[in-house]
Amino acid sequence: MDIRFANAATPKSGALVLPVYDGRALSEAGQAVDTATGGQLVRAMEGSRFEGRKDQQLAVAAPAGLPVSRVLLIGVGKPADAGAERFQALGGLACAALNAAGDKEGTILIDGVEGLALPLADAAAEAAYGARLRSYRFDKYRTTEKAEKKPTLAKLTVAATSAAKRAYAGREAVADGIFLARDLVSEPGNVLYPETFAEAIKALKKDGVGVEILDEKALRKLGMGALIGVAQGSVRPPRVVVMQWEGGRKGEAPIAFVGKGVTFDTGGISLKGGAGMEDMKWDMAGAGVVVGLMRALARREAAVNAVGVVALVENMPDGNAQRPGDIVKSMSGQTIEVHNTDAEGRLILADACWYTQDRFRPKAMIDLATLTGAIIIALGDHHAGLFSNDDELSQRLTAAGTAVGERLWRLPLTDYYDKQIDSDAADVKNIAGNRNAGSIIGAQFIQRFVNKVPWAHLDIAGVTWSKSDSAITPKGATAFGLRLLDRLVAEHYEGK
């Protein structure tokens, strides 16, 4: 879908989308459109339950006095509450509705109203951003899809102030990163595995991102026994990929992002049940988000030094697979007793986090992982779990998540939980031995491999894949975490 910008004016063809505010209030441009129809829009609203509340929709087909095919009214609520999320939803809902109606082109007409929470250019840019995000489809493997189920909307124009196009540029770069992350997470395990994932990341070089691939020989030389232990049951050898964007001051310590990349997770010898195992293709979502984030930072030319490290393995149960009871030596030198091979994400993150902090000495380090089913029990699919050794970093992440609609909830890390992973046979064991506080135990394990660097762990298992559409995210891979981390960088690390 091609997104364009134009000056605020009624289009001469296609569908027209108008925001409506609480109490059926139209903007000045909306009132002019209503006048051109002889008051048809107001009559349609008065004859329905449409009040202009958030996300309400009302379509008026073939309106009199206008050259457009239909007018779609979308509620955004009170102007003072109409922030970025509301206008993103406006754009996303418009995109979905126009596709559903079979429209080939459409225009969203946005002008100012008194008390609007956003500058007009930002409101228009957010609407375009929401439409772009909702337009995503992963359909490369569909060969028999009926024409009526395919999207029709080829061109969407946002008619607003001339500054809107400039405001959209940075958001478009982030959308590019989100689409890359969604693509990676959506790929099946027979297509995307450690070697092919690493090869795909090379495409970031075109964006100016440095890409370094560490193969199994290099990982053994580094002493990444925890990561290699997870991978040894698969015919697919492991990889660690290092990405560097150097947009900040030369020599300044970077901010680092580490992603769990289990391209398929059977559980290993501690085999998962068969029901739902097909979903385990997205156990690499943390890595996918890190890769997409690096593209977003590069394409918007972020003034920051950033490092992305992704640990890529496949967890399979062959005759060479790691066994429960095995003891492995991590890169840190600590030994790990593996009680459950399905608690593998924390094992690869142990080596990846240690490597990242040891090599790059970052000013902060954040890992993302679909780490535990327990976080879904605790928080469902609306919040991701946040664990951190640093209150300021935790507060910044939470605020960034709230601002972009990717919400976090902080859970504790204490000595009480840490003692539960002490091992009788090694330095640490990878589970506690009971089902209590499973997400905390996983985070507590990773913290054993983090020194004094400000660090946060985001458990995104419940929010990384959606079973239904939302205003700006079609069902499937969400790329949760990318927008909040981009916001974090922009607000606290860029140009600092």
Taking only the tens place, the pLDDT of each residue in 308-362 is 999 999 999 999 999 999 999 999 999 999 999 999 999 999 999 999 999 999 9
496: pLDDT strictly greater than 80: no
Rounded-to-integer distance, Cα 173 and Cα 209, Å: 14
| Residue 163 neighbours by CB distance under 10 Å | 15
Report the pLDDT value the prediction gives residue 147, as an integer from 0 to 100.
86
Report the pLDDT value the prediction gives residue 296, as an integer from 0 to 100.
98
pLDDT per position as a tens digit, 40-75: 999 999 999 999 999 999 999 999 999 999 999 999
pLDDT per position as a tens digit, 380-407: 999 999 999 999 999 999 999 999 999 9
Asked whether the beta carbons of 386 and 455 are under 8 A apart, the reply is no
Closest CA to 109 of 62, 66, 82, 73: 73
459: pLDDT strictly greater than 90: yes
| Helix (H/G/I), strand (E/B), else coil: 73 | strand
What is the pLDDT of the chain when averaged over all its residues?
97
pTM: 0.97
For the chain, give every domain's residue range: 2-161, 173-492
Residue 7 bridge partners (DSSP): 160
pLDDT per position as a tens digit, 187-203: 999 999 999 999 999 99
Each as own residue / partner, the long-range contacts of residues 29-38 (CB below 8 Å, 24 or more positions apart, any chain) are: 29/109, 29/110, 29/111, 30/109, 30/111, 33/66, 33/71, 33/109, 36/10, 36/65, 36/66, 37/63, 37/64, 37/65, 37/66, 37/71, 38/64, 38/65
Residues with catalytic annotation? 272, 346
For domain 2-161, the CATH class is: alpha beta
Report the pLDDT value the prediction gives residue 371, as an integer from 0 to 100.
98
Which of the following CATH numbers is that of domain 173-492: 3.90.1580.10, 3.90.380.10, 3.40.50.720, 3.40.630.10? 3.40.630.10
